Amino acid sequence: MGGPDVKTVSTKPYEGQKPGTSGLRKKTKTFMQENFVENFVQSTFDALDGDADTTGELLVLGGDGRYFNKDMTQTIIRMAYANGVAKVLVGQHGLISTPAVSHLVRSKGAAGAFILTASHNPAGPNEDCGIKYNSRNGGPAPESVTSAIYERTKTISEYRIADLPEVDLAEIGETKFGDSFSVEVIDATETYAQLMDEVFDLGEIKDFLSRDDFVFTYDAMHGVAGPFAKRIFHEELGVPLEQLLNCEPLEDFGGGHPDPNLTYAHDLVECMGLDQKGMPLKGVDPESLPDFGAAADGDADRNMILGKQFFVTPSDSLAVIANNAECIKYFKDGLKTVARSMPTSGAADRVAEEKDMKFFETPTGWKYFGNLMDAKELTGGKKDYNPVLCGEESFGTGSSHIREKDGIFAVLCWLNILAAKNEPSAPLVTVEDVVREHWDTFGRNYYTRYDYENVDADLAQKVMSRLNGIIFMFEVSNRAPVDIGAGFTLANCDEFEFHDEVDGSVSPHQGWRFLMEDGSRFVFRLSGTGSVGATIRLYIERYSKDDTSQETASALESLVQLALDFSDLHAITGREGPTVIT
Ligand code: G6P
Ligand code: ZN
């Protein structure tokens, strides 16, 4: 058989190639070390056996366009050939959003995908890079696969690579190498746009967007969302290009931090007339502001939804979409299942209860939702129609149309809901109206998250030991409720442990929970997506049935203080406050 030569290269293991919540994520300089990428990619090919084996199969390859991705793309193509893959489908310029990769794997019957992204982390020579492997179902590889990859990285001694010429990633089309391998460069926005057309009534949304009292704006934050946003919002839905901000993917995301939250998406937040706490800015003329704003992260799987001077928490966004699911084509025969991650607020639980939907609470990480989506018997759906809606407080929303969260999908859900609620000649029903109506019906889960980024790992450990100590004390006092001041009684506390009903797996240590008698709670977790030090997250929630119009900060003030006192977080870490509040 003719074809480029394959060589076997000796290598030595690198320590710490353990995939985290979403793949391997490290400083770019770490990725640029000799054989670092090759080791991880070869370990992945080696670990994929049985049904996951990629020999003779199709592989999808794309990323968020960050610095060093182009080099990694060429390396992976050469290694795919050397490891017996039949064909690689790669995005033009190496670009494919994470949701679009998931859809391509599913719709093209690929064995899996390499996604080159560190998601919402900044990019550049001094910032972050990432590689994540997704399985045949289009979702992140399960723990069994990622730990097999990690085990392999510890002992790897050689990798295989082919002597392939550089593939021109700018040129759409298929190139054959030898008799048994080809690389096809595709415009990934094409199949993704078709999918969105299946999931939504784009015509209805387009009509709504043509109202002259409704202005939509979108911030792609110079990540991979840009080309997808242009394709869907401009080409399909007629939004003027000048309302689509930062839609040119840049290798360093323009120096920004492509995380769609109140702190990092500051340009959009200001453009919507909000301050960084999500409160209305004083002295702006509301008439001059857009009516709807949304942003994406680097790989376009996250979303932030904003109304005119109004921030929608991701937890509320999930609940509102669940409650209005029938407005969305994909759910029109009935949404039967809703799931949220543990730290996400309980707003969606109330909708599920009211509407008699199945409800699941999973640990943080999208992969846990994939099992639910694939387990039709559990979610009670029909064979080919089994819609599941999922969401996370970390600005992730998605459904069973793919196996990743989907930033543009979330925005289209909102536009579809607004389209359904608005009559052509009646006054505009706004984002804020929809959310306030929701609170009037279900009550409000006041919610905030404090992030303490880049904390010294030992100090973070001290905080966690203290929390473990409190949980231990609670256990030994027979779990008797304790008055902890400010009107709160601690009714329960534990470390969240997840028992997956689908595959029987157990995921321990998923966050420290402190539950009050009135349903309020605070939760601590260590982030799994950082690349240096530790990030401590503190999630705070208080439910009120009738009192729904307070400012979040004041509604939660005493609970925040209790959480800080409990953990002694500021004294132990030497911090005076969080790095980010969402
Ligand atoms: C990624 C995953 C999400 C998860 C988030 C948590 O974005 O795809 O499913 O919620 O990470 O990040 P953290 O930094 O809190 O571990
Ligand atoms: Zn992401």
**What band does 529 get if pLDDT is binned at 50, 70 and 90?**
confident
Query: Within this chain, do residues 158 and 203 fall inside the same structural domain, yes or no?
Result: no
Residues 460-475: what's their mean pLDDT? 91
Residue 1 lies in a domain: no
pLDDT number for residue 383: 52
C-alpha closest to that of 97 among 136, 55, 134? 134
Q: What is the pLDDT at residue 21?
A: 67
pLDDT digits 0-9 by tens, 309-330: 999 999 999 999 999 999 999 9
* Cβ-contact 455, 572 below 8 angstroms: no
Whose Cα sits closest to atom 4 in ligand 1?
Answer: 365
- Lookup: tokens for 561: 């203080």
Q: Percent of the chain scored above 90 by pLDDT?
A: 84
Cβ(481)–Cβ(496) under 8 Å?
no
Domain assignment of residue 523, yes or no? yes
Contact 228, 191 (CB under 8 A): no
Scan for tokens 């299942």, then name that residue: 337
Among all bound ligands, the one having the nearest atom to the CA of 130 is 2
DSSP states along 152-165: HHHH--EEEEE-PP
Kindly give the residue spans of alpha helices, DSSP state H, lying in 288-331: 314-323
Write the pLDDT tens digit of every residue in 188-227.
Answer: 999 999 999 999 999 999 999 999 999 999 999 999 999 9
- Same domain for 246 and 116, yes or no, is no
Confidence of residue 459 (pLDDT cuts 50, 70, 90): very high
Tell me, yes or no, whether 36 and 121 share the same domain.
yes
Of the chain, the percentage scoring pLDDT greater than 70 comes to 97
Least confident of 81-95, 405-419, 564-578: 564-578
pLDDT tens digits along 148-193? 999 999 999 999 999 999 999 999 999 999 999 999 999 999 999 9
Among residues 168, 187, 206, the one where a domain terminates is 187
Give the residue from 310, 307, 130, 120 showing the smallest Cα distance to 221: 120
Asked if 398 and 463 sit in the same domain, the reply is no
Index of the ligand 1 atom closest to the CA of residue 20: 16
Last residue of some domain: 157, 187, 217? 187
Is there a single domain that holds both residue 229 and residue 129?
A: no
Q: Could you give the number of structural domains in the chain?
A: 3
Atom of ligand 1 nearest to the CA of 302: 7
Q: Determine whether the shortest distance from the Cβ of 22 to ligand 1 is under 6 A.
A: yes
| pLDDT beyond 80 at 106 | yes
- Whether residue 453 contacts residue 535, with contact meaning beta carbons closer than 8 Å, is answered with yes
Q: Do 404 and 515 reside in the same domain of the chain?
A: no
User: Rounded distance, CA 338 to CA 324, Å?
Assistant: 13
The reply to whether 26 and 56 lie within a common domain is: yes
325 plus 180 within the same structural domain: no
Task: Give 382's DSSP letter.
Answer: -
Active site residues: 119
> What is the rounded average pLDDT for all residues in the chain?
94
Mean pLDDT, to the nearest integer, of 339-360? 96
**Is any ligand 1 atom within 6 A of the Cβ of residue 396?**
yes
Answer whether residue 510 is part of any domain: yes
Least confident among 50-59, 62-71, 140-149, 299-308: 140-149
Per-residue pLDDT at 165: 95
Q: How far is the CA of 25 from the centre of ligand 2 (A)?
A: 12
What local confidence, expressed as pLDDT, does residue 504 receive? Answer: 84
Backbone angles phi, psi at 6, to 5 degrees: -110, 130
Q: Which of 336, 359, 398 is closest to 501 using CA atoms?
A: 359
pLDDT at site 238 = 97
Q: The CATH number of the domain where 349 resides is what?
A: 3.40.120.10
Domain CATH for 563: 3.30.310.50
Shared domain check, 479 and 397: no
Among the atoms of ligand 1, which is closest to the Cα of residue 365? 9
Q: pLDDT confidence of 399, banded at 50, 70, 90?
A: very high
In terms of Cα–Cα distance, which of 452, 330, 469 is closest to 402?
Answer: 330
Q: Is the CB of 403 under 6 A from ligand 1?
A: no
* Residue nearest to ligand 1 atom 3, measured at CA: 365
Place of tokens 């998406």: 265
Q: Name the band, by pLDDT with cuts 50, 70 and 90, for residue 384.
A: low
- Of the pLDDT bands very low, low, confident and very high (cuts 50, 70, 90), residue 88 is very high
CA-140 nearest atom, ligand 1:
8
- Which of 302, 362, 392 to mutate to test ligand 1, by most ligand atoms within 8 A of the CB atom? 392
Regarding the beta carbon of 529 and ligand 1, being less than 6 Å apart is answered yes
95 in the same domain as 71: yes
Say if residue 24 is in the same domain as residue 84.
yes
> Is residue 21 within 6 Å of ligand 1 at its C-beta?
yes
- Give Cβ neighbours of residue 476 (< 8 Å, ≥ 6 apart): none
| 504 within a domain of the structure (yes/no) | yes
CA distance 404 to 69: 20
The domain of 59 spans 6-187
Report the pLDDT value the prediction gives residue 355, as an integer from 0 to 100. Answer: 95
User: Of 396, 413, 442, which residue constitutes the final position of a domain?
Assistant: 442
Ligand 2 mean position, distance from CA 98 (Å):
7
**Residue 22 near residue 130, CB atoms below 8 Å:** yes
Return the biggest CA–CA distance within the chain: 77
Shared-domain flag, residues 272 and 129: no
